[in-house]
Amino acid sequence: MSAAEPPKEPVKYVDATVRLPYRYVAGDYRATYLRALKDKTILGSRCARTGKVFVPPVVASPESFAPCEEFVEVADRGVVTTFCIVRIPVIGREIELPYVAASVALDGADISIYALIQECRPEDVRMGMRVAAVWKPDGERVGSWEDILHFRPTGEPDAAPATYLDRL
């Protein structure tokens, strides 16, 4: 084999595709929360010191540093505390654009969760809007975050700002 000729053009790019497999641990607290979704139950955990409820359940309160070992059920409905309308795509996501990504403070929870709001026009979503979870039908739920399809407006009167502006 003859000696290689140097390339006529300098090498400018090196393409590298990185593929790394990860197998994440949910942790017992998150696993308990996910399994309960199969029964249309949403769980939080309560801070031993302040009594505040965190959804999904946490091992330790980020506020008081105390353990949160007591599990409690919260409602599957609540308030949109704030939201945005997403109009740009992300690799690997299949949600149809535009979509509303909202923070929803469920009744009984002291912090909000992220939720997809559907069954209404994006421009009709507003802070304070009451929403409820739309679940996958019985038999189709497996104990995963996908058991909740999305949240939809309930048509109830909006919550007063004072009730949600500190649960953003």
Contact pick of 40, 52, 136, 152 for other proteins (by CB under 8 A): 52
Give the pairing of strands 130-135 and 77-86.
Answer: antiparallel
Report if residue 12 touches other proteins, rule: CB under 8 A.
yes
Nearest to 47 by CA among 27, 28, 31, 70: 70
Give the binding range for other proteins (CB under 8 A) out of 38-46, 69-77, 96-104, 133-141: 96-104
Output the CA angle 93-95-100, nearest 5 degrees.
Answer: 120
Across the chain, where does the E strand assignment appear?
42-46, 53-54, 70-74, 77-86, 99-106, 113-117, 130-135, 148-153
Q: Are the CB atoms for 104 and 161 separated by under 8 Å?
A: no
Question: Binding of other proteins at residue 85 (CB under 8 A)?
Answer: yes
d(CA 161, CA 129): 10
Min CB(37)–other proteins separation in Å: 11
Span of 38-46, 71-79, 90-98, 130-138 interacting with other proteins by CB under 8 A: 90-98
Q: Is 32 near other proteins (CB under 8 A)? A: no
Contact residues toward other proteins (CB under 8 A) are: 12, 14, 16, 18, 20-30, 34, 52, 54, 58-60, 62-65, 67, 81-88, 90-93, 95, 98-99, 101-103, 110-111, 114-116, 122, 127, 145-146, 148, 161, 165-168
